[in-house]
Structure 1
Amino acid sequence: MKSIIDKEKLEKLLSELISIYSPYLKEEEMMNYIFGWFRERNLPAEFQRYSEDRILSYKGINVIGRLKGNRPGPVILLNGHADTVEKTSDWSTDPLKAHISNGRLYGLGALDMKAGVAAIMLAIEAFYNNHKEFAGEVIYTIVSDEEGPYGLGTDAVILDGLADDADCAIVTEPSSGFTGAEFPVLCLGARGGYNYTVYLKGKASHAANPEKGINAISEASKLIVELEKSDLVEDDKLGKGDIAVISIEGGGAACSVAELASFTVFRHVVRGETKEYLIKEVHKAAERAGIRAEIKVVFRDSPHSSNDGFMPYVIDEDNHYTTILQNSIEEVTGRKAAIDYFSSIGDFNYLGTRLKIPTFVFGPSGDNFHSSDEYVEIDSAVKTSEVIYNFLEKMLVANNL
């Protein structure tokens, strides 16, 4: 089929996005560029400004647009984040100067996920130019702070009710790149995750007589070893979760057995593994390890109760929207997408569990996200945009309900 998205146009747009440094919590220049890009093309775009004052003292900004049809129909939400992680010092080239080699475009955020954002932008432009009359509506949300601890950009979209009427969502995270499978890959859900700290209180004693005390550091070490042996729930779609200790602290006075220690865990979860379940998991591990110290499990502080963690979710393979999206993928790429499930967390968790709508993760292939020499396979980014365009045509122009 004839390409609806110009490859050189995508390369140019993506290179410009990469040239703007936009680590999470520092995205305003990027959002100004995206806002201007939409407005220059007479596409609807507004700033959504929000703030998180309790923990981060952060003032955030999203770009939101809505293309409204001339008759009732489904409302499709497209979501992508324009922020990245911080650049590292071990790149072989300048991470803010995109370069192309062997069909790959290199640059900070090329895969995660400025290529996905560019795919949304160009699909919206093409749809607007080619279809003045259609059913329903397209909402596009280009958000900030996805890479941060709370996903505040998409959180703000939800809190302000800007996507309450959405019927389904596509998040253009790199589904193929993240799963490591050949493009195209369609993720029908994702694992969730929680961050918690285990505090241990032992008993201090002189280091010459450690047997008189309860060493909180030793207790923490034994608990970690036993916790990592926990029998994890196996989900028939999402697989198993993970227990990853990401920090440990402890100590006391000089020449003394440590009274206090703590360690922090990031726990990826599957369906059925709730916060209550995780607390019990820690206490069961403590029993098995014979822990004598007092223990307390505290989940990380959060701006509000709905973004204290990321809940897992799954979409049925025979869902109406799944079928149509698969058809679009096959028409554009010549093959059905492999079905998979995202192993980590992202804004898609909020959309899938808080809006309670089918939320698909579909995006390009590439590698080295969150590390040096990140790249995206250019053809997969072009096809991602074409799939979005094709899906919008099927849902809103053919009104295939």
Structure 2
Amino acid sequence: MQRQVLDYINEESVVELLTKLIEIHSPYFHEEKVMFFTYEWLKEKKLYPQFHEYEENKITNFKGTNVIGRLKGKEKGPCILLNGHLDTVNVCEGWEKDPLKATREGNKLYGLGALDMKSGCTALLLALEAFKKTVKDFKGEILYSFVSDEEGPYGLGTNATIEDGIVKDADVAIVTEPSSGFCGVDFPCLCLGARGGYNYRVEFKGTAAHAANPEKGNSAILDCAKVMMELKNSEMMKDPKLGKGSTCIIEAGGGGQACSVADTAFFTVFRHIVRGEDKAYLEKELYEAVKRADIKSEVKMIFREGPSHESQGFNPYIVEENQPYVNQIIESIENVCNEKPQIAYFSSIGDFNYLGSRLKVPTFVFGANGGNYHTANEYVEIDSVIKTAHVVYEFLINTLGLN
């Protein structure tokens, strides 16, 4: 069996497919070409793909496309969801190589999305092909979703698969985000959960006055600054697995009138959270900071609106280490890599949050090693992509194989 698998998952097949994916420019909200390519690739391999089209009309007015499919066994068994996103961030400044051309240097392959996460999608595609070609009968079902707009503000692609009921039957999920690359640890690295996060805006209303007599007014900008500093000093909850959350001020502004005390100001926060921290907790945290700041301005807190109630933010989740699927994926990693994976927890958010917290199924993040994700000169280590594909294949065999 192993020899057959190597016909489909090897250095040549990984580099060839990953190169093609990298060289299709697919920033979020512009994924049509890469979705069509992936659909045609899966169709050629007789893996029964379908286009899943969705619309988000409340905020973005975006019409998106996912590529989904199912492989059903002859007997009842677990449903394994394989999820990956085919979009990337936009090209940033500072690239020393062409970001839209795959460039190989030894074990590294450079290009936009090489690590995050066209490497993971390559691993899933080749694992699916190998399974289809080498396994005649199995129990259960494989459900795959190659989605759009993970890098955008709401994870619209995976959100749509959940809200449209496409992935409701999943019993366990694997998301091949680059766990080693993101966590900064050697491959193999298995993430058993992730912090969540919410975006909110804080608005201040002060009192205008002439800039020659600032004592007659109340500067909303100064009050805004005081609250920002107090908020950064807030004591956050500590989770035994996820650690602490974090507060990042991502935008601030106000005033603008010539020669006047600013009567308006605002700042915007992205707040990563851990278990036990929710919208009510964040609201309490903010207003305690306002109280400590001892300001005069009126304060209003507004959470970022989401396409739906469930997609307003990203909730944290963990997979308990005694969960049966944990043992199976660790065994699969050991069989391929000849070593146990390092266990970690993702510090940021992604589609895995939606799957782990909303579907409430064990959701593993396992993928390649590399560097410079979301910045210039992004690269992936080729051997880690090969091993990721083999681990996914091994997990499918171990979980769905007939005795």
| Same topology, TM > 0.5 | yes
Q: Does 1:205 align with 2:219?
A: no
Deviation of residue 183 (structure 1)? 0.4
Equivalent of 1:104 in 89, 101, 108:
108
Structure 1 unaligned regions, length at least 5: none
Q: How many Å separate the matches in 2 of 1:68 and 1:96? A: 36
Match runs of 1:1-400 below 5 Å: 4=6, 5-398=9-402
Listed one character per residue, the Cα deviations across residues 74-125 of structure 1 (whole Å, up to 9, x for unaligned) are 0000000000001123211111110111201111000000000000000000
Q: Deviations over 1:151-196 (max 9, x none)?
A: 0000010011111110000000000000000000000000000000
Using the aligned pairs only, state the percent identity: 55
Determine helix, strand or coil for the equivalent of 2:181: helix
8 Å Cα contact 1:220-1:262 kept in structure 2: yes
Q: Give 2:277's aligned amino acid.
A: E
Alignment-mate amino acid for residue 66 of structure 1: R
Whole-Å separation in 2 of the counterparts to 1:212 and 1:163: 60
Give the residue type in structure 1 aligned to 2:87: D
- Aligned residue for 1:112, secondary structure, equals coil
Q: CA RMSD in A?
A: 0.9
TM-score by length of 2: 0.98
Kept after mapping to 2: 8 A contact 1:31/1:63: yes
Q: Give how far 1:302 is off.
A: 1.4
1:252/1:259 contact within 8 Å kept? no
Contact 2:26–2:86 under 8 Å retained in 1:
yes
Deviations 1:330-356 (A, max 9, x none): 000010111000000000000001111
Find the residue that maps to 2:115 and give its secondary structure. Answer: helix
How many Å separate the matches in 1 of 2:383 and 2:34? 24
How far apart, CA to CA, are the structure 2 residues paired with 1:385 and 1:225?
46
Report how many aligned residue pairs link the two structures.
399
Secondary structure of the equivalent of 1:15?
A: helix
Runs of 4+ in 1 over 2 A off after TM superposition: 1-4
- The CA distance in 2 between the partners of 1:398 and 1:236, in whole Å, is 38
Output the CA distance in 1 between the equivalents of 2:335 and 2:297. Answer: 61
Structure 2 CA distance, aligned partners of 1:119 and 1:252?
Answer: 51
Residue range with higher mean Cα deviation, 248-257 or 68-77: 248-257
Q: How far 1:252 moved relative to its partner?
A: 4.2
Deviation (angstroms), 1:253: 2.5
Contact 1:84-1:108 at 8 Å conserved across structures = yes
8 Å contact kept, 2:137–2:402 = no
How far has the Cα of 1:249 moved from its partner? 1.2
Cα drift, residue 205 of structure 1: 1.1
Query: In structure 1, what residue type is equivalent to 2:69?
Result: G
Measure, in 2, the Cα distance between the counterparts of 1:41 and 1:197.
48
